[in-house]
Amino acid sequence: MDGSCGGEAGITYVKAGPIARVTIDRPHVLNALNQAAQAALAAVWDDGRDDPDIRVAILTGTGDRAFCTGTDLKDPADEAVRGPAYLVAGPPLGAGGLSLRRDLLKPVIAAVNGLALGTGFELALACDLIVAAEHAEFGFPEPRVGYMALDGGITMLVRQVAFKRAMGLLLTGRRITAREGYEAGFVNEVVPREALMAAAERWAAEILACAPLAVEATKQLARETLDLPLWAAPRYFPRSVMQAVVSEDAREGVQAFRERRPPRWQRR
């Protein structure tokens, strides 16, 4: 799977070696997502999960106005899943097929190139790292139109920033800047708009310098131990951890350190 996926869904997916570049390409609606785009993104994450050559993904939006401004409320094809129907017919894996997903252990970097609102903010929070352009803004405007951030936005935000700060956003629908997001702790880096993709690729390169199995096991541990008490978390060892510690890459990492050379990862 490569190139444009989902026909007119407006999602592009390009593989460049170990990096998957995913772009929401719907600038006519500020990259808002309809059902077709949601399904196309879910298919992208499925493919990246199953492709052994892909190790990290970078998600961004077309243009410099918007990363994703939420759900496309003007799309008549989505009328059937608005209101109460959304509770049972909304995206099964959450915003962009990612926010409620638990089977993607490869890191995803959000390169936020503009507005990240509603579903777009959920999609960014679901990524493992967020690099934001200086002019980017984040927010959950749902309460202002009678809705809520139901695809994990509420729970993700209160776990990623201080509770009172999260509630200040959730209860008012206000927006905050990229710099405020950095100060709040959910943005990793803020850069000028022209340096956004270079910054995201720099983060990707640092991930690629690490052992693939160790990275995936680390992501799984970090996410799955969020709800465990401190005494239990250090003794939680999913299968990915066991695979990583007995892998050839684990032996190679130690050997490369001793020989003062870059490791040659084999993902086994």
| CA 28 distance to own-chain centroid | 23
How far is 20 from 76, CA to CA, in rounded Å?
31
End-to-end CA distance of the chain: 24
Burial 174-189 (b: 16+ CB within 10 A, else e): ebbbbebbeebebbbb
DSSP 33: B
Active site residues: 122, 142
219: exposed, middle or buried (Cβ count in 10 Å: 0-12, 13-18, 19+): middle
Degrees to nearest 5, angle at CA 263 with 257 and 266: 135
DSSP 130: E
How far is 124 from 59, CA to CA, in rounded Å?
9
**Encoding tokens for residue 262?**
């870059």
How far is 108 from 77, CA to CA, in rounded Å?
29
Largest Cα separation within the chain, whole Å, is 62
How far is 101 from 20, CA to CA, in rounded Å?
18
